[in-house]
Structure 1
């Protein structure tokens, strides 16, 4: 017993004491390291949560490094949705998880999320059509068609617009899309551009519009397409319809023979370049629409084109509105021209200038960027006639005084010569003009008279009822190519914005935003100079500096312990 007490009382050896201190030190620093690691993990999680919240609350704080700024929203859209004073619901008829796995679906979900982040009046819902039949039923009640899976539904009050996630949210290459229909390509192979912003903004404008306008597009005559069936014309009509629909107009295709031009149902008619002359009965239907039982208040958009044959009935109708369209196309190889690529081909075409004298009447198109040109490919000139019938003609777009008129061949009484199309024509357009090309007559360009030429005009019939003025209008365009598919989709030209802005002013519709689709053909990541500078500062300076400071602090603490 005594030996045990002596043994317990014996002083600890120096070696054991040092080992004990080392173990205690290891435990201390090990615990500190664990605590630091735990704190770091917590901080990382909190930073991610905070960044996610900031991204949702302030969408513009999220950097978009894609080449075409796929996830960015234009200033015009931002201004519009920030000023919304009506509640809008965007519903997606698919599970939200589906829109996080596919890269194309993710473009849609991210864009929708930004809309919600910028406006408290916009709410977003995802639902499954099979699991949530009650939600589907409430939308189905407002919509005349069938709502299936993969639709984007935009509603406000009792108004609704429904879009397909692919065909309405993305630009599709039409040739590849034909391969897809035959099972020779995938749907994603067809995608060339993202037009999610264009679709969503137009949908919101449409469902919140307090003054909706309905457009009847006279696309057929007795079941046949009314215009010359070239590729350029087909897609120009499609582009015009899409442009109107995207800016809040309700668009319906009509047949001039079998359909009624109901003044109660339609505010505006669009007549795209009939290849053959209209019958007297068809002309009478258009006249009755514009007269509207003496109440006027209607508009007709008439588009001429070089592909038209002789149209004496249409010419007589236009003459009553004090205009005639010359059998020629306007050309200009001077500085007031620009080389453009249209579906008809590539070549130099005249630049059309907005009539500045009419700005106070709202005929300037309310353009956001007046430095961008309006170009006029293959456009027939419009001449004003003098008549004492109370109707006025206003020149809206004119070419420069260096332009001249190149005559269309009338030798066969058919369509224009192939020489009237740009040098690099599409196969479709060239084939359509082969027969007339054989009858082309020579023309001395150097001796041609140079002068300004009107390529778009407004004919107005205004009458007084005693207390107010009422009016009907005929808007005349000299070419289908003014609304060429390529030009309408290209934000480098003002063709689309001017057309929509002018129509809005004339028919009393206020809101319009023309948005170009975002090109997805380039997949590399890019950044603006400001973004690059921010990333460079963070990676090259701030992060290394933080590491150095932490290292110095740790070294100093270890040195003095």
Structure 2
């Protein structure tokens, strides 16, 4: 009896394991287990990879978490080791406040994206509160000021301020002392810092002082950001550095004296070696007769200024909401020398209160930027009687022109004088706007004249507050992580259970 019972039990167990439904169920369970194991393995691999190469899907309407092509191109070409230090913890850097946090989240993602472009770029977060000795290795930085980042390559380093990385409501700051961010320049600030610390030889530019010149803070910073070394010199008691390739005279209140005139002409001649360049931005508030020496200097290079302004009448060259004295200039460089390296000539250069530059010797001087042929010359300080007799003539007028002199040989270097009829063209409102090409054009002009590769960094920032494609949470940006960690494993597990139950009870 016992033997029969044992035999029956054995047959029952064997029958259960041999049953088709059991085999199907076991296969389903095994398959489910294998899929789950594979998902877990993929998850572990992705977790390891994303520690150094974070993966994100940018679902914002204007791809605000995606680098501009210029950034990717420049970052991928870097061949020197560079370290970016964010001077706080990552959590603190991203947190910001209720008004600005979106910009800081965007900034952090963009910095990570820059790092991912090159194996030569590294990223670290340093909390200066818990690491106060960090600053001692960088003595040339004023650490009493607030810096948001530091870029280092070898012995070279450059600090980045909050106002370098973000634009803000200046009126709000003036009244309340608080920063309300309204734009970002993350890519531009990081990449210009990298360019500065990796540049082997910086071209020197001399700002002339002593004639009541206006400050050109925005343009100076633009030059420094593009690896130019800027010095300020008064020829009344100093001299231009021997290795300086540029002199800038910006909006002088008075004329240069005869001694300074001789020093500048000798410097341009450079012992018949040439290779020097002078930029002149005239002051439009005084009569040209007040500047005989500067007039003589540009006359030596085939140019003269007219005592008045360009008044543009072509509607497609006017800026909406502004008067006819502020207008888009046309690129007049026929042989493409000074515009072929520009990324786009469709973006306009805009100038205001522009004094026309006449060409008096076309064998020496050529126009660079012009008005349309519908513009007129409007003289300054017309008397009532003169205004009644004034008969304007439509003509193409030069806003910027260049004169060159050399030793007459085809392969010799030239010295150049560039006259820019509008000093406003180099103010912050024009060179900081991505809608205008002023910054890119004039930096490219400097690069071309000193025969340096055009490495200018002018990158438009994107607004993270722009409309998204229906996804507004920060978690939407890390969707792949949620998908791999939770959605796929749960879906596979549920599918396996459903399949097993259906087959078990079929």
Does TM-score exceed 0.5, indicating one fold?
A: yes
> Given the alignment of the two structures, is residue 72 of structure 1 paired with residue 91 of structure 2, yes or no?
no
Partner of 2:455: 512
Partner of 1:231: none
- For 1:519 and 1:340, how far apart are their aligned partners in 2? 23
Partner of 2:9: none
SS in 1 for 2:415: strand
Distance 1:519 1:74, change over 3 A: closer
Between 144-153 and 107-116, the greater mean CA deviation after superposition:
144-153
SS in 2 for 1:442: helix
Alignment of 1:231-310 (within 5 A): 237-252=216-231, 254=232, 256=234, 260-310=238-288
Shift of 1:162: 2.1
Deviation track 1:17-55 (CA, whole Å, cap 9, x = no partner) reads: xxxxxxxxxxxxxxx99xx99x98996896497278359
Q: 1:493 aligns with which of 436, 457, 478?
A: 436
Partner of 2:465: 523
Distance 1:245 1:365, change over 3 A: farther
Partner of 1:554: 498
Distance 1:326 1:250, change over 3 A: same
SS in 2 for 1:264: coil
Partner of 1:425: none
Distance 1:548 1:373, change over 3 A: same
Partner of 1:114: 113
Partner of 1:7: none
- For 1:67 and 1:480, how far apart are their aligned partners in 2? 38
- For 2:381 and 2:87, how far apart are their aligned partners in 1? 55
Distance 1:149 1:406, change over 3 A: closer
Partner of 1:209: 199
> Given the alignment of the two structures, is residue 154 of structure 1 paired with residue 143 of structure 2, yes or no?
no
Partner of 1:442: 387
- For 1:211 and 1:383, how far apart are their aligned partners in 2? 36
- For 2:381 and 2:92, how far apart are their aligned partners in 1? 57
Shift of 1:504: 0.9
Partner of 1:23: none
Distance 1:147 1:71, change over 3 A: farther
- For 2:182 and 2:276, how far apart are their aligned partners in 1? 38
Alignment of 1:88-487 (within 5 A): 88-102=82-96, 103=101, 104-129=103-128, 132=131, 135-140=134-139, 143=140, 145-146=142-143, 150-164=147-161, 166-179=162-175, 184-187=176-179, 189=180, 191-218=181-208, 220-221=209-210, 226-227=213-214, 237-252=216-231, 254=232, 256=234, 260-310=238-288, 311-340=291-320, 349-359=326-336, 362-386=337-361, 392-409=364-381, 442=387, 447-463=391-407, 469-487=412-430
Distance 1:243 1:308, change over 3 A: farther
SS in 1 for 2:352: coil
CA contact under 8 A between 1:365 and 1:498: conserved in structure 2?
A: no
- For 1:294 and 1:313, how far apart are their aligned partners in 2? 22
Unaligned runs of 5+ in 1: 1-31, 228-233, 412-438
Shift of 1:324: 0.3
CA contact under 8 A between 2:298 and 2:304: conserved in structure 1?
A: yes
Q: Which gives a bigger RCO, structure 1 or 2 (Cα 8 Å, sep 6+)?
A: 2
Deviation track 1:135-177 (CA, whole Å, cap 9, x = no partner) reads: 533333xx3655866442223233332222x122112333333
Shift of 1:79: 0.8
When the two structures are superposed, what TM-score results if normalisation uses the length of structure 2? 0.76
CA contact under 8 A between 2:62 and 2:466: conserved in structure 1?
A: no
Shift of 1:196: 1.6
Distance 1:129 1:73, change over 3 A: same
Deviation track 1:525-554 (CA, whole Å, cap 9, x = no partner) reads: 42499xx9xx9xx99xxx89x979956971
Distance 1:368 1:288, change over 3 A: same
Distance 1:270 1:356, change over 3 A: closer
Structure 1 consecutive aligned stretches of length 4 or more whose deviation exceeds 6 Å? 39-42, 546-549
Partner of 1:428: none
SS in 1 for 2:365: strand
CA contact under 8 A between 1:193 and 1:517: conserved in structure 2?
A: no
- For 1:217 and 1:340, how far apart are their aligned partners in 2? 34
SS in 2 for 1:518: coil
Q: How many residues align?
A: 458
SS in 1 for 2:399: strand
Shift of 1:333: 1.9
- For 1:153 and 1:123, how far apart are their aligned partners in 2? 12
CA RMSD of aligned residues (A): 4.1
SS in 2 for 1:317: helix
SS in 2 for 1:458: strand
CA contact under 8 A between 1:193 and 1:519: conserved in structure 2?
A: yes
Distance 1:249 1:65, change over 3 A: farther
Deviation track 1:242-286 (CA, whole Å, cap 9, x = no partner) reads: 32222221233x253566342325321222222333333443443
Between 70-79 and 508-517, the greater mean CA deviation after superposition:
508-517
Distance 1:52 1:451, change over 3 A: farther
Distance 1:177 1:89, change over 3 A: same
Partner of 1:421: none
